[in-house]
Copies of this chain bind each other. A is one copy, B any other.
Amino acid sequence: MRDADLVPRLERQGYSEEALAERRRWVEEKTGASLLHTGEASISGEDMRGNVENPIGAVQVPLGVAGPLLVHGDHADGIFYVPLATTEGALVRSYERGAVAVSRAGGAIVRLMRDENRVSPVFLFDGVAEAAAFARALPGLFEALKAEAEATTHHGRLLRAEPRVLGREVIVQLSFWTADAHGMNMIVKAADRACRWLIEQGHAPRHYVFSGAESEKRASGGLLAGGKGKTATAGVRLPARIVRAYLHTTPEGLADVWHRTVMGHLQAGTTGYNGHIANGLTALFIACGQDVANVANAAVGITSFEVVQGGDLYASVTLPSLTVATVGGGTGLGTARECLEMLGCAGAGQAPKLAEIAAALVLGGELSFGAAIASGEFVTAHETYGRNRPQGE
């Protein structure tokens, strides 16, 4: 490897249109690719500053719309059309079908039960005695810790600091309210300052700002207890006739699929239970400029289907770790901003609304997926809508 192999940074890190073009040409030369579509971005290079480095353009992801989706939340109330960016044939159709079924049944009831984000630094001590002493002292230090943390941010609020002793280390779970931002960068900065203060004051000899226990962008059982983003629950009661008409199965059919596939989830040692939550969230996140890698944590959830009195179906999803934002990150970029506007969720004050719509969307998706299994139509649907199969298939 020679220095000549390094990607050119260019002037001011190279975000001008010329810089993008120059870097694009450099990549073309190095790799033999021709980057025509990649250069066709309508977002300007400068607008990408803060969102990407070494930019060469933008990728395009097909955008479809699923709806109408009738939502009754504390923040979202009404009919929504949900932008979904995907290349998986049949996905939009499946979510659309679920959304229509939910809406025909009167809409999804959605509630947010917790709204916070978490960072979990770890402090290391000489031994168990010192670690335990620190953990026992921490409640008395909370107000000072909070002041330090909040000195770095206008919006974040430190809610709790909960220590856990593991041998000679102490993991401290710091829970923050982050307003409408995803807030991970915000709270890591706040946490880091609070940690450094603890060390400067002699309360602990050293620390890392991440312990691994924060489960950022990873699936873990710990996420099910909530605290990494919004905890949302969406539910709907569907009369049997709606299940039959829109989902081509019965309440009993969906309850049976639930029973059987719960067994399979348990067998596989799955974190939580769901049909395909990741599908809808990923498509929504790409469309709306969310941090898409957060799907790893946000798709952890628990879906339930059951037959209730009168033979109706009650369906619900609970998403304990739904990390969404309507300001910051990629939310302001061209298409992302437009997609958020489609939902009435662009800008400050809209993150809870976006979370409620996401939960309702996922509820519809779970119904549609479960129904495709119950009715045996899964394969047919993919045959119909998924054209781009490998050559020869």
Contact = CB atoms under 8 A, between A and B. Distances in A.
A286 B88 CA distance: 12
Task: State the oligomeric state as a number of copies.
Answer: 4
Interface string A330-344: 101111111101111
B317 A296 contact: no
A373 B383 CA distance: 46
Interface residues of A, number: 192
A60 B37 contact: no
Contacts of A1: 68, 70, 79, 100, 103-104
A186 B335 CA distance: 32
A227 to B, nearest CB: 11
A32 B339 CA distance: 11
Of the listed residues A63, A92, A374, the one surrounded by the most CB atoms of chain B closer than 10 A to its CB is A63
A5 B378 CA distance: 26
Interface string A183-212: 101101100100000000000000011111
Interface in A239-275: 257, 259-274
29 contacts: A1-B100, A33-B342, A50-B387, A53-B89, A57-B335, A58-B85, A58-B335, A59-B60, A87-B289, A131-B233, A169-B260, A171-B263, A186-B389, A186-B393, A210-B261, A211-B260, A212-B260, A212-B263, A212-B267, A214-B264, A217-B279, A217-B299, A218-B272, A218-B299, A220-B271, A267-B302, A271-B271, A278-B294, A296-B296
A54 interface: yes
B269 A212 contact: no
A213 B113 contact: no
Contact of A386 (B50, B113, B209): B50
A348 interface: yes
Contacts of A189: 379, 382-383
